[in-house]
């Protein structure tokens, strides 16, 4: 009954989304990842991917709770969408049943570090310990190999990116920030995502955002109506023969 009522609420929100997007077009400011791109010769994570097939990846960072996770998983199952969750080790150890539930539902899980610290402040030894222990915790909980990493706070330096890559963990950021952690309304979250998403986008959300689960059905239905296909990050990115341009876009070498 709770999920039924939740879905009814999203219908009303979806009705107003088109008007909201239209009214905000032209004045919206892309916050988050796009504002921290580095110029020059830097080691960069993947912010988005050069693709022509309208594939995109929804991602959820998991660190602080599970209050809305069942609603998110129910919605994803109903819409037959598979996504990527990035989990912090202490979250994994507190909620191992959710790690297994996420994996059993066909979703991908990457590491979001062990302690959710500012990892650009760590030594190589400390970075390796964070990435190894958090990956091992995820694998122990669900039996899946971890090969993706998202830095806490979007904070990184060359050492972190180079170390992550050397350990076989592709570092991943985002080019569409929902800002759901600011407790925006469901309609505002959906509008931000819908108006910014393009082919190859990686979208940042959080499993315990106050209105994220409420916004998700609107996001899925609206983006699907626009021709987008939802895939996990592991299916969106290239694993070899690619370059990353100064904006963080991953580009296959045959298209560079």
User: Which CATH number belongs to the domain containing residue 154 in this structure?
Assistant: 3.20.20.370
Longest C-alpha distance within the chain, in Å?
54
| Segment 50-53 long-range contacts (CB within 8 Å, at least 24 positions apart) | 50/200, 50/249, 50/250, 50/251, 50/252, 50/255, 51/199, 51/200, 51/236, 52/199, 53/199, 53/229
Q: What is the pLDDT of residue 174?
A: 98
Phi/psi at 64 (nearest 5 deg)? -120, -5
What is the band of 256 on the pLDDT scale with cuts at 50, 70, 90? low
Q: What is the mean pLDDT of residues 132-144?
A: 98
In Å, what is the CA distance from 129 to each residue of 124, 136, 167, 207, 243? 9, 10, 11, 25, 28
Q: Is the pLDDT of residue 32 over 70?
A: no
Q: What tens digit of pLDDT does each residue of 208-231 get?
A: 999 999 999 999 999 999 999 999
- Domain with 234, as residue range(s), is 2-255
Q: What is the pLDDT of residue 41?
A: 77
Give CA–CA dist 175/167, Å, rounded: 24
Q: What is the pLDDT of residue 4?
A: 41
How many helices (H) and strands (E) in the chain? 10, 11
Q: What tens digit of pLDDT does each residue of 166-214 get?
A: 999 999 999 999 999 999 999 999 999 999 999 999 999 999 999 999 9
Give CA–CA dist 69/81, Å, rounded: 15
Percent with pLDDT over 90 in the chain: 82
What is the band of 11 on the pLDDT scale with cuts at 50, 70, 90? very low
Q: What is the pLDDT of residue 6?
A: 44
Q: What is the pLDDT of residue 181?
A: 94
Q: What is the pLDDT of residue 168?
A: 98
Percent with pLDDT over 70 in the chain: 84
Split into its structural domains, the chain has a count of 1
Q: What tens digit of pLDDT does each residue of 81-114 get?
A: 999 999 999 999 999 999 999 999 999 999 999 9
Q: Is the pLDDT of residue 33 over 50?
A: no
Mean pLDDT of the chain: 88
Paired residues of 87 in beta bridges = 62, 111
11/113: higher pLDDT: 113
């Amino acid at each position: 009954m709770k999920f039924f009522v939740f879905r009814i609420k999203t219908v009303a929100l979806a009705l107003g989304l088109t008007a909201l997007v239209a009214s905000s077009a032209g004045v919206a400011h892309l916050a988050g990842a796009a504002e921290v791109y580095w110029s020059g010769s830097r080691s960069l994570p993947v912010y988005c991917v050069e693709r022509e097939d309208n594939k995109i990846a929804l991602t959820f960072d998991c660190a602080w709770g599970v209050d809305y996770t069942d609603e998110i998983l129910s919605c994803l199952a109903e819409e037959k969408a598979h996504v990527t969750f990035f989990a912090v080790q202490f979250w994994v150890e507190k909620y191992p049943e959710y790690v297994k539930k996420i994996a059993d539902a066909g979703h991908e899980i990457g590491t979001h570090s062990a302690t959710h610290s500012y990892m650009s402040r760590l030594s190589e030894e400390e970075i390796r310990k964070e990435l190894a222990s958090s990956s091992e915790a995820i694998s122990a909980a669900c039996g899946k190999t971890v090969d993706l990493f998202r830095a806490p706070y979007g904070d990184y330096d060359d050492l972190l990116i180079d170390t992550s890559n050397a350990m076989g963990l592709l570092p991943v950021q985002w080019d569409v920030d929902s800002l759901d952690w600011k407790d925006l309304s469901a309609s505002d979250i959906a509008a931000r995502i819908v108006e910014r998403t393009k082919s190859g986008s990686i979208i940042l959300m959080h499993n315990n955002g106050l209105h994220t689960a409420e916004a998700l059905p609107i996001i899925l239905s609206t983006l699907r109506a626009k021709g987008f296909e939802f895939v996990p990050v592991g299916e969106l990115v290239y694993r070899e023969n690619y370059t990353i341009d100064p904006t963080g876009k991953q580009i296959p070498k045959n298209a560079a």
